[in-house]
Amino acid sequence: MSKILIIAEHLNGQLNPSTAKCVSCASKITGASIDIAVLAADPAAVAAQAAQIAGVARVRTLANAANAHALAVVYAPQVLAIAGEYTHVFGPSTTFGKDLMPRIAAKLGVSQVSDVMAVVDAHTFQRPIYAGNAIVTVKAPAGRTVVATVRTASFAAASGGGSAVIEAVAMDVPLPTHTRFVSLQQGGGDRPDLQTARVVVSGGRALGSAENFQLIYDFADKLKAGVGASRAAVDSGYAPNDLQVGQTGKIIAPELYIAIGISGAIQHLTGIKDAGTIVAINKDAEAPIFEVADIGLVADLTKAVPELMAAL
Amino acid sequence: MKILVGLKRVVDYTVRVQVKPDGSGVAIDGAKMSVNPFDEIALEEALRLREAGKASEVVVVSIGVAACMQQIDTGLAMGANRGILVKTEGAIQPLTAARVFAKLCAKEQPDLVILGKQAIDDDANQTAQMLAALLDQPQATFASKVEVDGNVARVTREVDAGLETLEVDLPAVLSVDLRLNTPRFIKLPDIMKAKSKPRETIELASLGIESGDHLATTQHAPPPKRQKGVIVKDVPELIAALKAKGLL
Ligand SMILES: Cc1cc2nc3c(=O)[nH]c(=O)nc-3n(C[C@H](O)[C@H](O)[C@H](O)COP(=O)(O)OP(=O)(O)OC[C@H]3O[C@@H](n4cnc5c(N)ncnc54)[C@H](O)[C@@H]3O)c2cc1C
């Protein structure tokens, strides 16, 4: 039987929805028993949230002042101290999980399965390569721990209503001090989070300036949507880095994605493949974004977007 | 200070890679090959650290088939001091790459290893973290700003929540994101100058590395296709189409 450990992602006492998506992925493995590990300075609040995820057997808390910030080098030895009890160790394919999980895999002497998008069986998974241009089926060796990151856009969050037991793990492993947290400059604000928003409005290079990018924020606010951006828009300084959607930014799956002045490069498209409906507004009828858009409007954004906003 | 940089040979990012009809792999024979874009950024950062007087030597490493010497050539033309090719029969996975780098680190004793955060072929995003683990060294991944001051590096990282800054003691392993810098262009005289730079070839087998426990790839499939959509003629039609789907 598979025993799966999921490493919880959290910030400021809030469990990240990526954790419930990992549970959803893990529950695709037949007969799996699923535990969540919460590493924090004070894990109580996050553990209580994790315990409510349906399908979780136990929430194991690892309290330590050194866990105040999610440093991979500090988390890894603690996870490794309990990893031996499990057949699988999963984390989300967010910057948190991408940073941490390979450090665990290397110490266990196993390859990592990155960005699991489907479970075939306990050791066999599907994942994207070449910016999503190909999907490979990979088989991890039997009899060794499976370490994987879960592509969160591929799984709906497991539902709430669970009541897992919460157990504190006593731990006495030496933790390194060679890596120190200095600061976190959070973007965000009050808008819906890009990774979980039902609707996302995204702007590209065509916006032309940070001032003009305000149009995207205004439109998004009107729709109560999250805001995204292409790499060109981020590189040009129109939008902060945490808004980048794509191969090297965030992979998202909103119900509605509205791409404005974005050409639709493959590296961008790989971030929105799982969106429910894609709308594209672009003045170039030949733009590749129209090959994937469910609804396309060939128009100048400086006219179409204000018109849309006025009509809503 | 010595810096080691990895240069992976990958299919150029402009090539649209497709799956072979029989699902046995991707059709990339004859495709244009380049240095992984993230690795170019890693090298650029190393060169800037050398030019700023923080580092004295930049060594580029490529692991792969004999043709990877082209990527070493590119690295030397960009300005690296010397190159090491670790020759393999075919593709290797991140854990093996990390083990190779760990061996080279034992020999070269670099103060910094700078790698790309991911390679645009397997998109694995693992090697730097694995290497840092094997060396028991600090890791600072997805760097968008690197400042070295004596024995400490201050690294700003692009994370989902925004920008995180860490301080790491050297030696350390960094992985770089796209916005760290813009790599320089190579000029013809650079290529000429690079011809005489030292290049070393090491056989993977001679390193005595464990290479078991790897993932077996059993099938390649094209991604699911999205259905072709509609083009609406104006904003009112767009609104109607969204309403029809229950999205407004
Ligand atoms: C290794 C690598 C990784 C990458 N990762 C990512 C990633 O994660 N995410 C990402 O987005 N990109 C990524 N890219 C970059 C990607 O290849 C494209 O360069 C980028 O997505 C282009 O952004 P854009 O569509 O905003 O700009 P452009 O390609 O310049 O497109 C602008 C579009 O706006 C349209 N336009 C112009 N004016 C108007 C107007 N007035 N009204 C309406 N439309 C207008 C144009 O017709 C054009 O289609 C990556 C590239 C590399 C090499």
At B110, list the tokens.
């670099």
- Give me the CATH topology for the region A199-311: Rossmann fold (3.40.50)
CB distance B8 to B64 below 8 Å: yes
Q: Which residues of B touch A180 (CB under 8 A)?
A: 166-168
Residue A190: pLDDT band with limits 50, 70, 90 = confident
pLDDT at residue B133, as a whole number: 98
Report the pLDDT value the prediction gives residue B207, as an integer from 0 to 100: 96
Per-residue DSSP letters for chain A?
--EEEEE--EETTEE-THHHHHHHHHTTSTT-EEEEEEEESS-HHHHHHHHTSTTEEEEEEEE-GGGGS--HHHHHHHHHHHHTT-SEEEEESSHHHHHHHHHHHHHHT--EEEEE-EEEETTEEEEEEGGGTEEEEEEPPTTS-EEEEE-GGGSPPPPS----EEEEPP-------SEEEEEEEE---SSPPTTT-SEEEEE-GGG-SHHHHHHHHHHHHHHT-EEEE-HHHHHTTSS-GGGBBSTTSB----SEEEEES----HHHHTTTTT-SEEEEEES-TT-THHHH-SEEEES-HHHHHHHHHHH-
How far does residue A225's CA lie from ligand 1's centre (Å)?
21
- Residue A188 pLDDT exceeds 70: no
Question: Does residue A4 register a pLDDT over 90?
Answer: yes
pLDDT reported for residue A189: 75
Contact: A106, B95; criterion CB under 8 Å? yes
CATH topology classification for A3-168: Rossmann fold (3.40.50)
**How high does pLDDT run on average in chain A?**
97
With a cut of 70, say whether residue B152 has pLDDT above it.
yes
Question: Domains in chain B, please, with CATH?
Answer: 2-219 (3.40.50.620)
N residues, chain B: 248
Whether residue A198 has pLDDT greater than 70: yes
Quote ipTM for the complex: 0.96
Residue-wise pLDDT for A255-304, tens only, equals 999 999 999 999 999 999 999 999 999 999 999 999 999 999 999 999 99
Intrachain domains A3-168 and A199-311 with the same fold = yes
B207-211 average pLDDT score: 88
**pLDDT at residue B106, rounded to an integer:** 98
* Predicted confidence (pLDDT) at residue A126 exceeds the cutoff of 70: yes
Read off the pLDDT of residues A151-177 as tens digits, 9 standing for 90 and up.
Answer: 999 999 999 999 999 999 999 999 999
- Show me where the domains of chain A are located: 3-168, 199-311
B237-240's contacts with Cβ under 8 Å and 24+ in sequence apart are B237/A297, B238/A279, B238/A295, B238/A297, B238/A304, B238/A308, B239/A308, B239/A311, B239/A312
Q: What is the 3-state secondary structure (H, E, C) of B136-180?
A: CCCEEEEEEEEEEECCEEEEEEEECCEEEEEEEECCEEEEECHHH
**B162 vs A112, A131, A188: nearest CB:** A188
Q: pLDDT tens digits for B101-129?
A: 999 999 999 999 999 999 999 999 999 99
The answer, yes or no, to whether residue B213 has pLDDT greater than 90, is no
Average pLDDT estimate for B195-219: 92
Which of the four pLDDT bands, split at 50, 70 and 90, describes residue B214? confident
Q: State residue A187's pLDDT score.
A: 78
Distance from CA of A137 to the nearest CA of B (A): 5
3-state secondary structure A123-144: CEEEEEEHHHCEEEEEECCCCC
CB–CB contact A115 B123 (8 Å): yes
Q: What percent of chain B has pLDDT over 70?
A: 99
Q: Residue whose CA is closest, atom 22 of ligand 1?
A: A232
pLDDT in tens, A33-69: 999 999 999 999 999 999 999 999 999 999 999 999 9
Q: What is the pLDDT at residue B239? A: 97
A-B contacts at Cβ under 8 angstroms: 255
Q: How many angstroms is it from B228 CA to the middle of ligand 1? A: 21
**pTM for the whole structure:** 0.97
Chain B residues close to A286, C-beta within 8 Å: none
Going by alpha carbons, the residue nearest to atom 19 of ligand 1 is A232
pLDDT digits (tens, 9 = 90+) for B22-38: 999 999 999 999 999 99
Give the tens place of pLDDT for each residue, B58-89.
Answer: 999 999 999 999 999 999 999 999 999 999 99
Say yes or no to pLDDT of B190 above 70.
yes
Could you read off the pLDDT of A204-241 as tens digits, one per residue? 999 999 999 999 999 999 999 999 999 999 999 999 99
